[in-house]
Amino acid sequence: MLKQRTLKSLTRAVGVGLHSGQRVEITLRPSQPDTGIVFRRVDLPQPVDIPVSAPAVTDTRMASTLSKGGAKVQTIEHLMSACAGLGLDNLYVDITAEEVPILDGSAASFVFLLQSAGIALQNAPKRFLRVNKLVEVREGEGASLKWARLEPYNGYKLSFEIVFDHPAVDSTGQRVEFDMGRDSYSRDIARARTFGFTKDVEMMRSNGLALGGGLDNAIVMDDYKVLNAEGLRYDDEFVKHKLLDAIGDLYCVGKPLLASYSAFRSGHALNNKLLRELLTREDAWDIVTFEDESLAPAGFSQLARAW
Ligand SMILES: [Zn+2]
Protein backbone atom coordinates (compact mmCIF):
# COMPACT_ATOMS: atom_id res chain seq x y z
CA MET A 1 0.00 0.00 0.00
CA LEU A 2 1.25 3.49 -0.80
CA LYS A 3 1.00 5.06 2.64
CA GLN A 4 0.42 8.53 4.07
CA ARG A 5 3.39 10.35 5.54
CA THR A 6 4.06 12.63 8.47
CA LEU A 7 7.17 13.75 10.37
CA LYS A 8 9.11 11.46 12.72
CA SER A 9 9.81 14.22 15.23
CA LEU A 10 9.15 17.92 15.63
CA THR A 11 11.34 20.68 14.30
CA ARG A 12 11.45 24.47 14.68
CA ALA A 13 12.47 27.55 12.75
CA VAL A 14 12.59 31.25 13.56
CA GLY A 15 12.56 34.03 10.98
CA VAL A 16 10.70 37.09 9.72
CA GLY A 17 7.62 37.41 7.55
CA LEU A 18 8.37 38.67 4.02
CA HIS A 19 5.44 41.07 3.97
CA SER A 20 4.83 41.82 7.68
CA GLY A 21 8.52 41.99 8.67
CA GLN A 22 7.40 40.43 11.98
CA ARG A 23 9.52 37.91 13.91
CA VAL A 24 7.81 34.52 13.90
CA GLU A 25 8.51 31.02 15.15
CA ILE A 26 7.10 27.87 13.55
CA THR A 27 7.04 24.38 15.02
CA LEU A 28 6.35 21.53 12.60
CA ARG A 29 4.81 18.51 14.35
CA PRO A 30 3.71 15.00 13.37
CA SER A 31 -0.05 14.41 13.14
CA GLN A 32 -2.52 11.54 12.71
CA PRO A 33 -3.49 10.02 9.34
CA ASP A 34 -6.12 12.02 7.39
CA THR A 35 -5.41 15.22 9.35
CA GLY A 36 -3.96 16.98 6.32
CA ILE A 37 -1.84 20.07 6.91
CA VAL A 38 -3.17 22.26 9.71
CA PHE A 39 -1.80 25.65 10.75
CA ARG A 40 -2.34 26.52 14.43
CA ARG A 41 -2.12 30.13 15.59
CA VAL A 42 -0.66 29.51 19.04
CA ASP A 43 -0.19 33.24 19.82
CA LEU A 44 -3.93 33.97 20.01
CA PRO A 45 -5.70 33.95 23.41
CA GLN A 46 -7.53 30.82 22.20
CA PRO A 47 -5.36 28.86 19.71
CA VAL A 48 -7.11 28.58 16.33
CA ASP A 49 -6.61 25.62 13.96
CA ILE A 50 -6.76 26.48 10.27
CA PRO A 51 -6.80 23.36 8.06
CA VAL A 52 -5.45 23.89 4.55
CA SER A 53 -8.11 23.70 1.84
CA ALA A 54 -8.78 25.55 -1.42
CA PRO A 55 -11.77 27.50 0.00
CA ALA A 56 -9.72 28.52 3.09
CA VAL A 57 -7.33 30.48 0.81
CA THR A 58 -8.94 33.89 0.99
CA ASP A 59 -6.36 36.47 -0.02
CA THR A 60 -4.02 35.96 -2.95
CA ARG A 61 -2.42 39.41 -3.36
CA MET A 62 1.36 38.81 -3.51
CA ALA A 63 1.06 35.63 -1.37
CA SER A 64 -1.43 32.92 -0.46
CA THR A 65 -3.27 33.57 2.82
CA LEU A 66 -5.37 31.06 4.75
CA SER A 67 -8.08 32.21 7.08
CA LYS A 68 -10.73 30.98 9.43
CA GLY A 69 -12.97 33.40 11.32
CA GLY A 70 -10.73 36.35 12.17
CA ALA A 71 -7.53 34.28 12.26
CA LYS A 72 -5.16 34.11 9.30
CA VAL A 73 -1.79 32.80 8.17
CA GLN A 74 -0.09 34.56 5.29
CA THR A 75 2.55 33.42 2.75
CA ILE A 76 2.02 29.67 3.16
CA GLU A 77 3.06 28.75 -0.40
CA HIS A 78 6.78 27.93 0.03
CA LEU A 79 6.18 25.65 3.03
CA MET A 80 3.24 24.04 1.20
CA SER A 81 5.47 23.54 -1.83
CA ALA A 82 8.13 21.76 0.28
CA CYS A 83 5.43 19.52 1.81
CA ALA A 84 4.15 18.61 -1.68
CA GLY A 85 7.70 18.04 -2.96
CA LEU A 86 8.49 15.64 -0.10
CA GLY A 87 5.07 13.95 -0.20
CA LEU A 88 4.04 14.91 3.34
CA ASP A 89 0.32 14.35 3.95
CA ASN A 90 -0.17 15.17 7.62
CA LEU A 91 1.43 17.92 9.66
CA TYR A 92 0.69 20.48 12.34
CA VAL A 93 2.32 23.87 11.88
CA ASP A 94 2.26 25.85 15.13
CA ILE A 95 2.89 29.50 14.34
CA THR A 96 3.36 32.52 16.61
CA ALA A 97 2.32 35.31 14.18
CA GLU A 98 0.21 35.72 11.07
CA GLU A 99 2.92 35.07 8.48
CA VAL A 100 5.15 32.06 7.75
CA PRO A 101 8.86 33.07 7.95
CA ILE A 102 10.42 33.72 4.53
CA LEU A 103 13.81 32.20 5.58
CA ASP A 104 15.98 32.24 2.40
CA GLY A 105 13.06 33.09 0.06
CA SER A 106 12.91 29.60 -1.45
CA ALA A 107 11.56 26.22 -0.28
CA ALA A 108 15.06 24.80 0.36
CA SER A 109 15.12 25.77 4.06
CA PHE A 110 11.77 24.05 4.60
CA VAL A 111 12.96 20.93 2.73
CA PHE A 112 16.05 20.86 4.98
CA LEU A 113 13.92 21.29 8.15
CA LEU A 114 11.43 18.59 7.16
CA GLN A 115 14.14 16.15 6.12
CA SER A 116 16.05 16.74 9.38
CA ALA A 117 12.91 15.85 11.35
CA GLY A 118 12.59 12.64 9.31
CA ILE A 119 9.61 11.27 7.39
CA ALA A 120 7.43 8.53 8.93
CA LEU A 121 5.06 6.21 7.07
CA GLN A 122 1.55 5.88 8.50
CA ASN A 123 -0.82 2.97 8.36
CA ALA A 124 -3.38 4.59 6.06
CA PRO A 125 -3.57 4.74 2.26
CA LYS A 126 -2.28 7.91 0.63
CA ARG A 127 -5.21 9.60 -1.14
CA PHE A 128 -4.72 11.34 -4.47
CA LEU A 129 -7.02 13.69 -6.28
CA ARG A 130 -7.04 12.37 -9.85
CA VAL A 131 -8.05 14.80 -12.60
CA ASN A 132 -10.15 13.06 -15.27
CA LYS A 133 -11.20 15.98 -17.47
CA LEU A 134 -9.65 19.21 -18.63
CA VAL A 135 -10.36 22.18 -16.35
CA GLU A 136 -9.14 25.63 -17.34
CA VAL A 137 -9.39 29.21 -16.08
CA ARG A 138 -8.44 32.31 -18.11
CA GLU A 139 -8.20 36.02 -17.44
CA GLY A 140 -7.57 39.05 -19.63
CA GLU A 141 -6.80 39.29 -23.33
CA GLY A 142 -3.85 40.12 -25.55
CA ALA A 143 -0.85 41.30 -23.51
CA SER A 144 -2.74 40.78 -20.23
CA LEU A 145 -3.85 37.20 -21.00
CA LYS A 146 -3.18 34.59 -18.30
CA TRP A 147 -4.41 31.04 -18.00
CA ALA A 148 -3.95 27.88 -15.97
CA ARG A 149 -5.22 24.38 -16.69
CA LEU A 150 -5.28 20.85 -15.32
CA GLU A 151 -5.50 17.80 -17.59
CA PRO A 152 -5.53 14.05 -16.99
CA TYR A 153 -2.06 12.51 -16.58
CA ASN A 154 -0.89 9.34 -14.87
CA GLY A 155 1.60 11.10 -12.60
CA TYR A 156 2.24 14.73 -11.74
CA LYS A 157 3.85 17.22 -14.06
CA LEU A 158 3.81 20.97 -14.40
CA SER A 159 4.83 23.50 -17.02
CA PHE A 160 4.98 27.23 -16.45
CA GLU A 161 5.66 30.16 -18.74
CA ILE A 162 6.30 33.75 -17.71
CA VAL A 163 6.68 36.87 -19.83
CA PHE A 164 8.87 39.48 -18.11
CA ASP A 165 10.19 42.24 -20.26
CA HIS A 166 13.35 42.81 -18.22
CA PRO A 167 16.98 42.37 -19.33
CA ALA A 168 17.86 40.07 -16.39
CA VAL A 169 14.85 37.82 -16.98
CA ASP A 170 14.86 37.94 -20.80
CA SER A 171 18.33 36.45 -20.88
CA THR A 172 17.18 33.36 -18.92
CA GLY A 173 14.53 30.75 -19.67
CA GLN A 174 10.94 31.94 -19.38
CA ARG A 175 9.44 28.46 -19.59
CA VAL A 176 10.11 25.40 -17.42
CA GLU A 177 8.75 21.88 -17.11
CA PHE A 178 8.90 19.58 -14.12
CA ASP A 179 7.80 15.95 -13.98
CA MET A 180 7.72 14.20 -10.61
CA GLY A 181 8.53 10.91 -12.35
CA ARG A 182 11.72 12.26 -13.96
CA ASP A 183 13.02 15.27 -12.03
CA SER A 184 14.00 15.93 -8.41
CA TYR A 185 12.01 18.58 -6.55
CA SER A 186 14.74 19.16 -3.94
CA ARG A 187 17.49 19.49 -6.53
CA ASP A 188 15.72 21.13 -9.47
CA ILE A 189 13.04 23.41 -7.98
CA ALA A 190 13.26 23.93 -4.19
CA ARG A 191 16.21 26.38 -4.25
CA ALA A 192 14.56 28.96 -6.54
CA ARG A 193 14.04 32.22 -4.64
CA THR A 194 11.25 34.74 -4.80
CA PHE A 195 12.10 37.88 -6.79
CA GLY A 196 11.18 41.54 -6.95
CA PHE A 197 12.04 44.83 -8.61
CA THR A 198 13.40 47.86 -6.73
CA LYS A 199 10.91 50.09 -8.60
CA ASP A 200 8.01 48.16 -6.98
CA VAL A 201 9.44 48.09 -3.47
CA GLU A 202 8.36 51.60 -2.49
CA MET A 203 4.80 50.99 -3.67
CA MET A 204 4.68 47.64 -1.87
CA ARG A 205 6.04 49.06 1.39
CA SER A 206 3.52 51.91 1.37
CA ASN A 207 0.86 49.17 1.15
CA GLY A 208 2.41 47.33 4.10
CA LEU A 209 4.00 44.64 1.89
CA ALA A 210 7.59 43.36 1.55
CA LEU A 211 8.56 44.91 4.92
CA GLY A 212 10.79 41.88 5.67
CA GLY A 213 12.18 41.54 2.13
CA GLY A 214 15.81 42.09 1.18
CA LEU A 215 18.85 40.68 -0.61
CA ASP A 216 19.14 37.76 1.85
CA ASN A 217 15.68 36.39 1.04
CA ALA A 218 14.88 37.49 -2.51
CA ILE A 219 16.42 38.14 -5.90
CA VAL A 220 16.23 41.91 -6.27
CA MET A 221 16.54 43.66 -9.64
CA ASP A 222 16.83 47.28 -10.67
CA ASP A 223 15.87 48.29 -14.24
CA TYR A 224 18.84 46.48 -15.75
CA LYS A 225 20.31 43.74 -13.59
CA VAL A 226 20.23 41.42 -10.59
CA LEU A 227 21.60 43.24 -7.51
CA ASN A 228 22.45 40.15 -5.43
CA ALA A 229 26.24 39.78 -5.31
CA GLU A 230 26.02 35.97 -5.49
CA GLY A 231 23.95 36.03 -8.70
CA LEU A 232 21.38 33.35 -9.53
CA ARG A 233 21.08 29.81 -8.12
CA TYR A 234 19.68 28.42 -11.40
CA ASP A 235 19.97 29.98 -14.87
CA ASP A 236 16.16 30.02 -15.02
CA GLU A 237 15.56 30.76 -11.32
CA PHE A 238 12.69 33.22 -11.99
CA VAL A 239 10.35 30.84 -13.79
CA LYS A 240 11.41 28.00 -11.49
CA HIS A 241 10.22 30.05 -8.52
CA LYS A 242 6.84 30.58 -10.19
CA LEU A 243 6.61 26.80 -10.63
CA LEU A 244 7.63 26.30 -6.96
CA ASP A 245 4.80 28.68 -5.97
CA ALA A 246 2.33 26.80 -8.19
CA ILE A 247 3.26 23.46 -6.54
CA GLY A 248 2.50 25.06 -3.14
CA ASP A 249 -0.71 26.75 -4.32
CA LEU A 250 -2.01 23.52 -5.88
CA TYR A 251 -1.24 21.50 -2.74
CA CYS A 252 -3.83 23.66 -0.95
CA VAL A 253 -6.42 21.36 -2.55
CA GLY A 254 -5.51 19.10 0.41
CA LYS A 255 -4.21 16.08 -1.52
CA PRO A 256 -1.48 15.36 -4.07
CA LEU A 257 -2.79 15.71 -7.62
CA LEU A 258 -2.55 13.17 -10.39
CA ALA A 259 -2.62 15.63 -13.26
CA SER A 260 -0.73 17.68 -15.77
CA TYR A 261 -0.77 21.40 -14.85
CA SER A 262 0.19 24.05 -17.33
CA ALA A 263 0.09 27.79 -16.90
CA PHE A 264 0.85 31.00 -18.73
CA ARG A 265 1.57 34.04 -16.50
CA SER A 266 -0.49 32.53 -13.68
CA GLY A 267 -0.11 33.48 -10.02
CA HIS A 268 -1.56 32.72 -6.58
CA ALA A 269 -5.01 34.11 -7.43
CA LEU A 270 -5.49 32.24 -10.69
CA ASN A 271 -4.05 29.01 -9.23
CA ASN A 272 -6.62 29.16 -6.44
CA LYS A 273 -9.39 29.95 -8.93
CA LEU A 274 -8.36 26.84 -10.88
CA LEU A 275 -8.69 24.67 -7.76
CA ARG A 276 -12.10 26.12 -6.95
CA GLU A 277 -13.24 25.51 -10.53
CA LEU A 278 -11.95 21.92 -10.33
CA LEU A 279 -13.80 21.25 -7.07
CA THR A 280 -17.14 22.51 -8.46
CA ARG A 281 -16.77 20.16 -11.44
CA GLU A 282 -17.47 16.89 -9.63
CA ASP A 283 -17.37 14.94 -12.90
CA ALA A 284 -13.77 16.10 -13.49
CA TRP A 285 -12.02 14.28 -10.61
CA ASP A 286 -12.10 11.40 -8.15
CA ILE A 287 -10.07 10.20 -5.16
CA VAL A 288 -7.78 7.20 -5.67
CA THR A 289 -5.41 5.10 -3.53
CA PHE A 290 -2.79 2.48 -4.47
CA GLU A 291 -3.07 -0.84 -2.64
CA ASP A 292 -0.04 -2.04 -4.63
CA GLU A 293 2.57 0.72 -4.44
CA SER A 294 4.37 -0.62 -7.51
CA LEU A 295 1.30 0.49 -9.50
CA ALA A 296 1.59 4.10 -8.34
CA PRO A 297 2.81 6.58 -10.97
CA ALA A 298 6.53 7.22 -11.31
CA GLY A 299 7.85 9.58 -8.66
CA PHE A 300 5.23 8.71 -6.05
CA SER A 301 6.36 5.15 -5.39
CA GLN A 302 9.98 6.35 -4.91
CA LEU A 303 8.70 8.77 -2.28
CA ALA A 304 7.33 5.79 -0.32
CA ARG A 305 10.67 5.21 1.38
CA ALA A 306 10.97 6.69 4.84
CA TRP A 307 14.24 8.27 5.91
ZN1 LIG B 1 6.95 32.49 -3.91
Per-residue pLDDT tens digits for 36-73: 999 999 999 999 999 999 999 998 888 899 999 999 99
Taking alpha carbons only, the member of 132, 133, 159 closest to residue 148 is: 159
Binning the chain into helix, strand and coil, the percentages to the nearest 5 are: 25, 30, 40
CA distances from 279 to 129, 130, 131, 148, 255 (A): 10, 11, 10, 15, 12
Virtual torsion, Cα 219, 222, 228, 230, nearest 10 deg: 100
Using N-to-C axis directions, what is the helix angle for 77-86 and 237-251, rounded to 10°?
80
Taking alpha carbons only, the member of 157, 152, 159 closest to residue 134 is: 152
In a 3-state reduction of DSSP, which class is residue 305? coil
Q: Give the model's pLDDT for residue 213.
A: 87
Q: Give the model's pLDDT for residue 19.
A: 87
What's the CA gap between 117 and 112, in Å, rounded? 9
Q: Give the model's pLDDT for residue 304.
A: 46
What is the CA(294)–ligand 1 centre distance, in A? 33
CB atoms within 10 A of CB 295: 9
Q: Which residue ranges of the chain lie beneath pLDDT 50?
A: 304-307
Cβ partners under 8 Å of residue 184, min gap 6: none
Compute the mean pLDDT over every residue in the chain, rounded to the nearest whole number: 93
Give catalytic residue positions.
268
pTM: 0.95
What is the CA(195)–ligand 1 centre distance, in A? 8
What is the CA(225)–ligand 1 centre distance, in A? 20
What's the CA gap between 91 and 122, in Å, rounded? 12
What is the CA(282)–ligand 1 centre distance, in A? 30
What is the CA(106)–ligand 1 centre distance, in A? 7
What is the CA(266)–ligand 1 centre distance, in A? 12
